Amino acid sequence: MPEAKKKDALGWMEWLRGWLYVIYEMLFQRILASHLQDPLPLPPVNDLTCIVTGSTSGIGREIARQLAESGAHVVMAVRNTKAAQELIQKWQEEWSGRGLPLNIEVMELDLLSLDSVARFAEAWNARLGPLHVLVNNAGIFSIGEPQRFSKDGYEEHMQVNHLAPALLSVLLLPSLIRGSPSRIVNLNSVMHYVGFVDTEDMNVVSGKRKYTSLLGYSSSKLAQVMFSSLLQKRLPAEAGINVLCVSPGIVHTNVARDLSRVVQAAYHLIPYFIFSPQEGARSTLFSATDPQIPEYCELLKADDWPVCAFISQECRPTNASEEAHNIETSHKVWEKTLEMTGMPSDAVERFLEGEEVKCRYGAQQE
């Protein structure tokens, strides 16, 4: 079979379809999700231990609060631990008299530092307790901002939205195995439909493509879907861990802070279309707690479907973008991600065998 020509960007039809999907989602998300209650009622979660990244604001804050109020043990994995402690105090006071105190704690995690990610995973795994749900919620979209790099040398969107959550997911496998059946829920975005990943230029520095914050964001979200799909494939059914991506819809969060005044004004004119953080949290809470999710994930795997489960903002299964089905690129994203995060290529298999896996980052490397 002749080798396919290397793809340098989305075809214009794919690009157009992607944008039409994004616009459709924005205009109709509220109608499409009108069958959902707000807040979403959750099944019993008293036995669950859940880690929620980036849980001091926006959707993450709602996810952490609602899981805790439903009885889960929640770990707020955040950069600003003081803000998280203050939130917990506030929540405990509001909850007072309604039941047992909320079982919620704070651990420091900075996704702009892969060292911080590795240290967090080491500290959590050292407890030798189970982890039932990892919610990779934290993300950035620095709209209109110039290109920035983390101290690890990676473009910030790619690191915060993809590399750091990928590293965290793999390093926490020992705890997720102990918590089986468990799940990894990655907050994704409809913007991955207009994303394209050039695996030879993950930092967008070659000059082949002009960097924009939209390009940085959409490609990082597509990389996350691709990596998640292969992680789901590499986890055998007996491991009892499922990986899925979820769209919260278009949500009014702190992203608006970075918008220009004109766009901010427009953003405030259309509150009808845009979800509140509580509404935006529903699809993730559903994905984290619904008892039928594992069955659905395993069904896709049994059918040899190339992409992991993708849950829409209306809490229904949907299909990831056309480009997310590009198996060749997905494999390259997988290899490149493990390489960039300092993991051996067989890290997942070794964790499943119960072996210790060394990563380039974290305390063990001091």
> Alpha-carbon distance 28 to 20, whole Å?
12
Q: Check: CB of residue 279 under 8 Å from CB of residue 247.
A: no
> Residue 225: which of 136, 95, 117 has the closest Cα?
136
Q: Check: CB of residue 233 under 8 Å from CB of residue 327.
A: no
> Alpha-carbon distance 306 to 310, whole Å?
12
3-class SS of residue 323: helix
18 φ/ψ angles, rounded to the nearest 5 degrees: -60, -45
Please, what is the Cα angle at 262 between 259 and 265, to 5 degrees?
85
Q: Check: CB of residue 84 under 8 Å from CB of residue 65.
A: no
Angle between helix 213-234 and helix 327-340 axes, rounded to 10 deg? 100
217 is a catalytic site residue: yes
Q: Which of 193, 217, 296, 361 does the annotation list as catalytic?
A: 217
Query: Torsion over CA of 257, 215, 18 and 196, rounded to 10 degrees?
Result: -150
Catalytic (active-site) positions: 217
